């Protein structure tokens, strides 16, 4: 989850709780205020009725055509407990409409000069209040949603602008390649924390470049220091073979020693090559046409394939292009084709499938599955042939890891299947 998404989610949760509580409080506060206004009107009307009653003036009819209704009932002395005013919501029957409608109700008790007690009930229909309450609720919900969305949008925009230097830095780091031609970091900001992060990133990049150069020098020196003595030993053995005094047994031992040294030379070159890949010492990239590359290499392998009468079946459903180092692309294809040939059987078959984002190479061979978890490990002995370094698929693994190419091995339909899946970001 992105930082801005996480912040927005947390902010939304907090604002949802706070605004909900605020909306409920505001709604009930408005309703209470409306009730207070209605109660004040009822109280004023009740006072007018009590004054007229005590003054002996004629009272309006109980339904005088106004919006109010009332009733006055004389109470027995024993029924009166205390004077009070009581408000409540109730339902009353409206004769004109012949139906029940909501109303606000006031009840009070008063006494006249004769110490007689009366109960006064005053009603006012509140159908308008119900409509008003509904309208208030709807508008509160609408304003609540608009306010919440506005605040979230404004915060997202602010966060995005504030975090823009971080996104610039992440893009620079994502495209940075040690030993490659990297653009300098151009990330102007007045935020102190981002300035420090930029400085730290540049500082660590410089350290990585320094370590990379020293490691590259070490690998080159190590290669030279190891390869040179090995070459000298091989040459001396070749000279020794020309000695006429050697017996056949001695010459056989010298030949075996030559073969061992040659194997060590190949092994050393393969290990150094893997080391260079791991250290990203192949920064140059270009657009690779895998369809053409595979066909060209098949031509180079044609004589070897014909020697064992191996059939080649290639099917192309689309063109496969990707951005990578040309030498590594060539090594990748060569090692997969060599593996399919070396571990095949006479009169066997190699099937090649190419589409827009994947490459599949199948071959006959040992009718037992190899360990898919170990086959790409260095020096895995599962199907190792004499003279093989056991590093061919390890080189494939190193190249795939460098370019984020997903690779896997499966044993399907009595065939060893190697699949490469190229990421969409590398396919151009």
For 284-337, what is each residue's pLDDT tens digit? Answer: 889 999 999 999 998 888 887 787 888 889 999 999 999 999 999 999 999 999
pLDDT single digits (tens) 82-135: 557 888 877 777 666 677 777 888 888 888 777 778 888 888 877 666 677 777
Cα distances from 216 to residues 187, 242, 391, 399, 401, in angstroms, run 30, 39, 21, 18, 19
**The dihedral sign for the CA sequence 105, 111, 113, 114:** positive
Please name the residue ranges forming H helices in 186-288: 192-241, 248-278
What pLDDT, on the 0 to 100 scale, is given for residue 372?
A: 81
- How crowded is the C-beta side of 234, counted as CA atoms within 13 Å? 15
Distance from C-alpha of 242 to C-alpha of 240, rounded to nearest angstrom? 5
Question: Looking at the domain 286-421, which fold is it?
Answer: Heat Shock Protein 90 (3.30.565)
Helix/strand number for the chain, H first, E second: 9, 11
Distance from C-alpha of 428 to C-alpha of 426, rounded to nearest angstrom? 6
Q: Which of the four pLDDT bands, split at 50, 70 and 90, describes residue 371?
A: confident
Residues 6+ apart with CB under 8 A from 7: 155, 159
Beta partners for residue 93, in sequence order: 100
Residue 425 has pLDDT above 80, yes or no: no
Residue with tokens 């399919």: 340
Residue 427 has pLDDT above 60, yes or no: no
pLDDT single digits (tens) 24-76: 888 788 878 877 888 888 888 888 888 888 887 887 775 554 567 788 888 77
List the one residue out of 150, 147, 151 whose CA is nearest residue 139.
Answer: 147
**Residue 377 DSSP label:** S
Distance from C-alpha of 300 to C-alpha of 394, rounded to nearest angstrom? 23
Residues 6+ apart with CB under 8 A from 46: 70, 106, 108, 120, 122
Lowest mean pLDDT among 196-200, 384-388, 421-425: 384-388
Please name the residue ranges forming H helices in 246-391: 248-278, 290-300, 302-307, 326-342
Phi, psi (deg, nearest 5) at residue 6: -65, -45
- Is pTM beyond 0.75? Reply is no
Length of the chain, in residues: 428
Let me know the angle formed at the C-alpha of 84 by 80 and 85, rounded to the nearest 5 degrees.
Answer: 135
What pLDDT, on the 0 to 100 scale, is given for residue 96?
A: 64
- How crowded is the C-beta side of 12, counted as CA atoms within 13 Å? 12
Beta partners for residue 99, in sequence order: 94
Tokens of 322: 């990707």
Distance from C-alpha of 395 to C-alpha of 293, rounded to nearest angstrom? 18
pLDDT single digits (tens) 197-250: 888 988 988 888 888 777 777 766 776 777 778 888 888 888 888 888 888 888
Characterize the bridge pairing of strands 349-354 and 358-363: antiparallel
Measured in whole angstroms, how far is the alpha carbon of residue 244 from the centre of its chain? Answer: 73
Let me know the angle formed at the C-alpha of 141 by 136 and 142, rounded to the nearest 5 degrees.
Answer: 100
Beta partners for residue 75, in sequence order: 117
Question: Looking at the domain 3-159, which fold is it?
Answer: Beta-Lactamase (3.30.450)
Using DSSP's 3-state secondary structure scheme, residue 94 falls into strand
Residue 352 has pLDDT above 90, yes or no: yes
243: left (phi over 0), alpha (psi -120 to 50) or beta: beta
Contact of 151 with 126, CB cutoff 8 Å: no
* All structural domains of the chain with their residue ranges: 3-159, 192-278, 286-421
Angle between helices 326-342 and 290-300 (to 10 degrees): 50
DSSP output for 93-138: EETTTTEEEEEEEEEEEEE-TT--EEEEEEEEE-HHHHHHHHHHHH
Cβ density class 313-336: b for 16+ within 10 Å, e for less = eeeeeeebbbebbeebbebbbbbb
Hey, how many other C-beta atoms are within 10 angstroms of the C-beta on 66? 11
Distance from C-alpha of 320 to C-alpha of 423, rounded to nearest angstrom? 12
Tokens of 303: 């004589």
What pLDDT, on the 0 to 100 scale, is given for residue 353?
A: 94
Contact of 339 with 303, CB cutoff 8 Å: no
pLDDT mean over 4-25: 78
Distance from C-alpha of 79 to C-alpha of 205, rounded to nearest angstrom? 95
Residue 275 has pLDDT above 80, yes or no: no
Hey, how many other C-beta atoms are within 10 angstroms of the C-beta on 4? 16
What pLDDT, on the 0 to 100 scale, is given for residue 419?
A: 93
What pLDDT, on the 0 to 100 scale, is given for residue 159?
A: 78
């Amino acid at each position: 989850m992105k930082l801005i998404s996480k912040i927005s989610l947390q902010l939304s949760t907090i604002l949802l709780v706070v605004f909900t509580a605020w909306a409920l409080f505001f709604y009930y506060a408005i309703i209470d205020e409306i009730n207070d206004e209605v109660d004040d009107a009822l109280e004023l009307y009740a006072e007018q009725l009590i004054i007229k009653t005590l003054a002996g003036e004629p009272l309006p009819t109980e339904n005088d055509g106004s919006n109010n209704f009332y009733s006055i009932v004389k109470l027995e002395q024993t029924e009166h407990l205390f004077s009070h005013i009581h408000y409540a919501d109730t339902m009353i029957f409206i004769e004109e409409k012949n139906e029940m409608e909501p109303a606000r109700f006031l009840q009070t008790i008063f006494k006249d000069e004769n110490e007689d007690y009366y109960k006064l009930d005053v009603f006012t229909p509140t159908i308008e209040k119900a409509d008003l309450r509904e309208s208030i609720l709807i508008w509160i919900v609408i304003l609540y949603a608009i306010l919440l969305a506005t605040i979230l949008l404004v915060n997202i925009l602010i966060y995005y602008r504030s975090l823009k230097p971080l996104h610039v830095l992440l893009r620079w780091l994502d495209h940075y390649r040690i030993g490659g031609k990297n653009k300098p970091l151009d990330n102007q900001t007045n935020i102190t924390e981002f300035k420090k992060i930029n400085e730290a990133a540049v500082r660590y990049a410089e350290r990585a470049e320094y370590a990379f150069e020293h490691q590259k020098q070490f690998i080159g020196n190590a290669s030279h220091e190891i390869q040179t003595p090995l070459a000298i030993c091989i040459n001396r053995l070749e000279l020794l073979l020309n000695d006429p005094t050697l017996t056949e047994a001695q010459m056989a031992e010298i030949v075996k020693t030559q073969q061992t040294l040659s194997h060590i030379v190949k092994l050393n070159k393969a290990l150094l090559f893997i080391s260079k890949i791991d250290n990203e010492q192949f920064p140059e990239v270009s657009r690779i046409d895998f369809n053409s590359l595979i066909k060209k290499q098949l031509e180079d392998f044609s004589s070897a394939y014909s020697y064992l009468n191996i059939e080649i079946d290639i099917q192309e459903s689309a063109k496969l292009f990707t951005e990578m180092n040309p030498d590594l692309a060539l090594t990748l294809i060569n090692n997969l084709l060599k593996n399919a040939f070396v571990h095949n059987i006479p009169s066997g078959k190699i099937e090649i499938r190419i589409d827009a984002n994947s490459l599949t190479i199948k071959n006959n061979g040992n009718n037992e599955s190899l360990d898919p978890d170990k086959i790409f490990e260095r020096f895995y002995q599962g199907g190792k042939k004499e003279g093989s370094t056991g590093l061919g698929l390890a080189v494939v693994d190193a190249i795939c890891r460098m370019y984020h190419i997903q690779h896997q091995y499966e044993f399907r339909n009595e065939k060893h299947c190697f699949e490469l899946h190229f990421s969409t970001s590398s396919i151009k």
